[in-house]
Amino acid sequence: MLKPKMTPTRELVNLDGTWLFGIDSRLGDEPWRGALRTPLEAAVPASYNDLFVDDEIRSHVGWVYYQRRVQVPRGWSEERILLRFDAATHAARVYVDDALVGEHVGGYTPFAVDITEHVSAGTAFRLTIGVSGDLTNETIPPGKIEVGMTGKRVQTYFHDFYNYAGLARSVWMCTTPRSRIEDVVVSTDFDGTVGSVTYAVDVEGEGAVRVVLRDEEGAVVASSSGASGVLTVPDVTLWKPGAAYLYDLAVELHDADRVVDAYSLPVGVRTVEVRGTQFLINGEPFYFTGFGKHEDAPVRGKGHDDAYLVHDFQLMEWIGANSFRTSHYPYAEEVLEFADRHGVVVIDETAAVGLNMGVVGGMSGTPPFPTFSEQYANAATQAAHAQHLRELVTRDRNHPSVVMWCIANEPASNEDGAREYFEPLVQLARELDPTRPLSYALVMFATFQNDQIIDLFDVVCMNRYYGWYVASGDLATAEAYLTGDIRGWIERTGKPIMMTEYGADTMEGLHSVHTQVWTEEYQRDYLAMNHRVFDRFPEFVGEQIWNFADFATTNAIHRVGGNKKGVFTRDRRPKSVAFDLRARWTGLEGRKPGTGTTEQGGR
Ligand code: GCB
């Protein structure tokens, strides 16, 4: 689905602001059938949980309702009119006045609802959206809802970040012409100095397609007609990590000489390839430095915020990070657009986090019952996962910054049933996008001896906490474990290996002259040990620390005010280790530490 934007043939009204808000238990039956009877207003975009001083709202299980009035511009009588929700976490029902006009499941991908038949140009309507943050074993991510001792429904889930819910991204009302450009898919390549952009335009209705590719100065470099084709770009300027370059692909739908629809998108010409143990961008070995992140901030929860967007990217640049993983769900499209414009490399992850009953077993990793079973990750879960993957890839496949898909975080890939569960998803991902490598982030219980699915994937992405959850406070033992673990994966797979999570909880301001967990010194020593080990393996292609910043978690007793593995605090102040990382990472330009200079990053 194309992101709505203003074009010569399309219009857009932003519906962000404060909306009437209430939780279902306080609103009565069918609350959309009139004005919501509530004193509360919620900010959009924002998760609703932390906005109010009210625990019942914060931990509400069930539906909440947002409502506002919307005026349809009077010039829209001939247009197709849509509502577009950039995200409703995790399920949504959309009502125009009394009518249910659309539904969606999946909390981090956008959806649109055609309301042309329900509204009239020049009039106003009541827009109500029900949003549910509930997680069950048939949602992605999965969770469990039980009726507790008090008779209340209690939500549990198998990931540590707080289950923020609501309208965390923008809401739009927009138009498209009736005959229209429905979708555009591009892929790119180059040979020497000549680039190529392969495009395919999906058209709904009548019209002939024309495309024009312009460079950053606005000069036409290629053009073509027809719904699909290949554009040749002489003297191509490649999109490179640290040196973004974006062409503009203007797509027009014509009826004779009349432009029926127009849409344009940025295109970065670059290639991605896994060859042997190398991860290549534009044919050059690339070394990932950076973080697993979260969309997380005080008050707004997972609400998208351009100020945090800009500041987080500034901090990443300052520290020398060239990449991040969208752990553990697709991020706002604005984040990927920003990464495209600033040459930051992204591993794009689905929200499939917690497909692992082993984590319930604690450090033993023994599942109380099999993960891949009727009881938990069953055919319905897999279908939800497939739908989620489809929506992620179709949303993000045109972003040059996205170099790899991560189809799950820490699934029980060591358990029976993992192969049957993942094989069709891998096949689907490869059909949706044959150009990008695939990965999943490996849980520590999945070892090079017992993992059952790594051969289906291209890159070994390890999440490992030696020196934290294992061998806590004992970095010598941790170093031995880590070394053996990496060596085992190298010997088993012959694939590129990277660390997608390693980290130590650190209380800012806590210091000690002794080796003590939670101190700022321990975080520094812990990371230094990891880096020493990584640098010994030529097959190692990257390091993404857990986590960029401290983030909110559930009320777990082993978390003090959230997960503190951030290199920055939740309000983005650096812990001591940030300066070590800056010394290690700046100037690398995508090369492995200690391996000299490179052209990667130059234009
Ligand atoms: C993990 C998870 C991540 C957690 C992290 C931790 O393995 O992938 O979501 O936050 O460990 O800090 O425990």
Ligand 1 atom nearest residue 553's Cα: 10
Axis-axis angle for helices 306-319, 577-585 (nearest 10)? 70
Per-residue pLDDT tens for 97-141?
A: 999 999 999 999 999 999 999 999 999 999 999 999 999 999 999
Ligand 1 atom with minimal separation from the 503 CA? 12
Nearest to 360 by CA among 556, 501, 546: 556
Distance between CA atoms of residues 352 and 418, nearest Å: 13
Taking residue 151's Cβ as centre, other Cβ atoms within 10 Å add up to 6
**Computed over its alpha carbons, how large is the radius of gyration of the chain?**
24
**Mean predicted confidence (pLDDT) in 85-99:** 98
Residue 501 CB-density burial (10 A; 0-12 exposed, 13-18 middle, 19+ buried)? buried
Whether 216 sits among the annotated catalytic residues: the reply is no
What is the Å distance from ligand 1's center to 462 Cα?
Answer: 12
pLDDT in tens, 373-385: 999 999 999 999 9
Of 41-55, 143-157, 412-426, 450-464, minimum mean pLDDT range: 143-157
Phi and psi of 538, rounded to 5°?
-60, -25
Pocket test for ligand 1, best of 469, 546, 551, 558 (most atoms within 8 A of CB): 546
Place of tokens 């200690």: 594
Q: What is the pLDDT of residues 28-70, one digit of tens each?
A: 999 999 999 999 999 999 999 999 999 999 999 999 999 999 9
Find the distance separating the first CA and the last CA of the chain, reported in whole Å: 32
Contact 70, 15 (CB under 8 A): yes
Using one digit for the tens of pLDDT, what is the confidence trace for 168-186? 999 999 999 999 999 999 9
Task: Read off the pLDDT of residues 549-577 as tens digits, 9 standing for 90 and up.
Answer: 999 999 877 888 999 999 999 999 999 99
Higher per-residue confidence, 358 vs 510: 510
CB-CB contact of 213 with 221 (8 Å): yes
CA distance 523 to 108: 32
Query: Ligand 1 mean position to 564 CA, how many Å?
Result: 11
Q: What digits encode the pLDDT tens for the residues 270-316?
A: 999 999 999 999 999 999 999 999 999 999 999 999 999 999 999 99
pLDDT tens for 200-256 read: 999 999 999 999 999 999 999 999 999 999 999 999 999 999 999 999 999 999 999
pLDDT at 364: 74
Helix (H) / strand (E) containing 312 = helix 306-319
Q: Taking a C-beta distance cutoff of 8 angstroms, is the pair 142, 105 a contact? A: no
Percent of all residues in the chain with a pLDDT value above 90, rounded to a whole number: 94
CA 36 to ligand 1 center in whole angstroms: 39
Query: Mean pLDDT in the chain?
Result: 96
Q: Which of 295, 391, 501, 520 is catalytic?
A: 501
- Span from the CA of 160 to the centroid of ligand 1 (angstroms): 7
CA of 235 to the centre of ligand 1 (A): 45
- Asked if residue 329 has pLDDT above 90, the reply is yes
The ligand 1 site (C-beta within 6 Å) comprises 159-160, 328, 409-410, 463, 501, 546, 563, 565
| Backbone angles phi and psi of 486, in degrees to 5 | -65, -45
Q: Residue 479: in which H helix or E strand, if any? A: helix 475-493
Give the model's pLDDT for residue 164. Answer: 98
pLDDT at 597: 57
Q: Are 507 and 560 in contact (CB under 8 A)?
A: yes
Give the integer Cα–Cα distance in Å for 472 and 432: 42
Q: Which atom of ligand 1 is nearest to the CA of 410?
A: 8
Looking at residue 602, its pLDDT comes to 33
Q: Which atom of ligand 1 is nearest to the CA of 565?
A: 12
pLDDT at residue 603 greater than cutoff 50? no
Report, as an integer, the average pLDDT of 16-39.
97
Atom of ligand 1 nearest to the CA of 563: 12
Going by C-beta distance under 8 Å and a sequence separation of 6 or more, which residues neighbour residue 504?
465, 467, 468, 517, 518, 522, 523, 526, 527, 565
d(CA 94, CA 32): 9
| Residue 388 per-residue DSSP state | H
What is the C-alpha to C-alpha distance for residues 282 and 421, in angstroms, rounded to an integer?
Answer: 33
For this structure, is 431 an active site residue? no
Rounded CA-CA distance 525/535 in Å is 15
CA of 546 to the centre of ligand 1 (A): 8
- The structural domains of the chain, ordered by start, are 12-176 (2.60.120.260), 180-267 (2.60.40.10), 295-576 (3.20.20.80)
